[in-house]
Amino acid sequence: MRGGSFFKSTAVRLAIIYSSLFVVSYLGANVVAYQMVLAYLDDRLDAAVMERYREIEATFRARGVSGAIDMINSHGPAIRGQETIYTLRDRTGGVIAGNAAISGVPSGFSDLAPDDQHDASTSYKLFRGQLGDNDLIVGISEGDTDQLARIVLVSFGWTTAIVFAVGLGGAAVLRYRSRNRIFALSQTAHAIGHGELSKRLPVSPRMDEIDVLSSEVNVALTRLEASVIALKQVTTDIAHDLKTPIGRTFLVLDDALHREDMDEVKGAVGAALQELAAIASTFDALLRIAQIEARSRTAHFRLVDFGDLVRDIYEIYEVTASEEGHELHLKLGDGDCWISCDPDLIRQMLANLLANSMRHTPAGTRTSLELSPHAGGVALSVSDNGPGIPEPERRRVLERFYRLEKSRTTVGSGLGLSLVKAICDLHDARIELSDNSPGLRVRVTFPAPRQGSL
């Protein structure tokens, strides 16, 4: 990770791309600015040439040719190669004044290349006009203008180079910082991949894109860790809880194998089948819980009257409760109790809650089944006046295979309330276990159906 290529780094590539785009845009702007500067300097040079020409022209009109000659000579000795050059010719073409003998120049503005009819190394901007019968050429050196243009061009070049250098320097800094962060992330991910599920990706206070992603991954890792822990616990619980019935089944079948009386053999085989049926029931409950937790049962959701389901289950269990010496009472509140649910799963939940209440309470216990509208939904409660569940263990009884010590002698696999919890989660319902003073109260609150399901 630390030895990766510099130019393969994402930060470097992005910095180079953005720097290149900026440099190209900057160069385009510089080209436009440079052309504007050249045009401005050329206009200023034209104005300077015309100013010199009009000075001589004004003197000619006032004093004639002699005045023009004096004006030309007043600008300094006629030295070839000076900043300003003049050529005044008479009607015969002879030079009568000036510091250069320029010929072949068109009327108006023109340019004179270096070493063309003069000894200077710079170009000249010329203007040719008529002073009566005389011909006047005025030229000003473009040396200062060219020098200024070169300064502008060099400054643009250096600015571009500095911008690109700063971009590469920024890319190096970004690469160093991002490489260290990603290296820390990869080390943590490597540790997690090798079984250290308690590790979490580092998150800085800046909460940039990487931190947001790390936070989401940490949430997923927390859920994954909880799932793995639950899986390990389920595996241990299955091995612990099924070891005894499988061992009993083995002993019963082994005993039947050595018996000669057919009735005794049939009895032993019948007992073994009962044990196997209990084992199959346990696995069936585990499968249902897994399907529900995977939310693969939402296809059967529909809008139902919760009160009808409760009345149906009450009528079924009222007879069973009476036969076992329990009292079962039903109380339905006023108002509609519609929910969006899978009716079969809700019946399973109600059956588990009532069966669990009657199985773990002595004869004569009163069990109440209540349903009423609740703020934002529907509330169901199953309560009894039995021995109840100690407060520290109320959350644990919702775990798979967890059974109170006093309940281990009763029939059951410890999956009833786990199935209830899974059904509640599937329906976004909240389950709460509380003290009924005496006994246990299980309260399940279902949310109101969404508008689209009505």
Q: Domain check: are 324 and 438 in the same one?
A: yes
Sheet holding 84-89, edge to edge: 95-98, 84-89, 134-141, 124-131, 108-112
Q: Domain check: are 232 and 320 in the same one?
A: no
Q: Along the 454 residues of the chain, how does pLDDT read in single tens digits?
A: 444 555 555 666 676 777 777 778 877 887 888 888 888 888 988 898 999 899 889 988 888 888 888 888 877 454 444 578 888 888 888 888 888 888 888 989 988 887 666 556 678 888 999 988 899 999 888 887 888 888 888 888 888 788 778 777 777 777 677 777 777 888 888 888 888 878 888 888 878 777 788 888 888 888 888 777 766 766 666 666 667 777 778 887 887 777 777 877 788 788 778 777 777 766 776 666 666 666 656 777 889 999 899 999 899 888 888 888 889 999 988 777 889 888 888 888 898 898 888 888 888 889 999 998 887 789 999 999 888 888 878 777 777 666 554 444 454 556 778 888 888 888 889 999 998 888 899 999 999 887 655 4
- Residue 215, domain extent: 209-292
Please state the pTM of the whole predicted model: 0.48
Q: Domain check: are 341 and 397 in the same one?
A: yes
> How is residue 386 annotated by DSSP?
S
Among the candidates 274, 292, 310, a domain finishes at: 292
Residue 360: CB atoms within 10 A of its CB come to: 22
State the residue for tokens 């991949």. 193
Q: How many domains does the chain have?
A: 3
What separation, in Å, do the N-terminal and C-terminal C-alpha atoms of the chain show?
Answer: 56
Q: Domain check: are 304 and 446 in the same one?
A: yes
Q: Domain check: are 288 and 304 in the same one?
A: no
d(CA 136, CA 123): 19
Alpha helical stretches, state H, 294-386:
306-323, 343-359
Nearest to 53 by CA among 163, 124, 140: 140
35 and 149 Cβ atoms separated by less than 8 Å? no
Instruction: Identify the CATH number of the domain in which residue 214 sits.
Output: 1.10.287
d(CA 126, CA 136): 10
For residue 444, the SS3 value is strand
Alpha helical stretches, state H, 118-142:
none
135 and 88 Cβ atoms separated by less than 8 Å? yes
45 and 111 Cβ atoms separated by less than 8 Å? no
Q: Domain check: are 124 and 69 in the same one?
A: yes
